[in-house]
Structure 1
Amino acid sequence: KKSKMHECAICNKKFPRPSGLKTHMNTHNNERPFPCGFPGCTRTFGVRSNARRHLRTHGVIPPTLHPVGEAPYVVGFSEPLI
């Protein structure tokens, strides 16, 4: 069985799936199609997993990481100091 690798025409990096090559191409064409999604945050990312990891900076647990049955977004706040 032959394995067909999908090669980047710019840097010759190879990927086993076309979707991997498509995501990789965002690094060459500066496309950032994955927004943070947190209210008020304007950050965008070329790779979906980077956007999901970034959500942690807002105190958000990405949906695939939270236990089943719990709310997908959890934001924690400290008690105000008076």
Structure 2
Amino acid sequence: MRDEGREAEARSFAKALATNLVLNGTWSYFFFRLKSLPVSTGVVALLAMSSIDLVRRVGKTKKRRALALAPYGLWTSFASALTAEIWRRNGA
């Protein structure tokens, strides 16, 4: 994007990607380390939304790259459902 003169869009994408990476680490920390199912369920839901947003952003300019990234959005959505179900089964 930067090489195409779309600096603001590139900065926005970089911020969205950084947010996604932070959410990914945060979910892992709350789920695996702290075993906090309520918090990790909320964080992974935000992660799924963020991942889908990244696919959408990439898809605006690079369809093939969006297709390559789409499984990540699907995986985080599935992880969100799994985390919520684990929480439910453990006495939510």
Q: Could you say which TM-score interval applies, normalised by the shorter chain?
A: under 0.3
Q: TM-score, normalised by structure 2?
A: 0.25
Q: TM-score, normalised by structure 1?
A: 0.27
Q: Which has more strand, going by share of residues?
A: 1
Q: Which has more helix, going by share of residues?
A: 2
Bigger Cα Rg = 1
Structure having greater relative contact order (Cα 8 Å, sep ≥ 6): 2
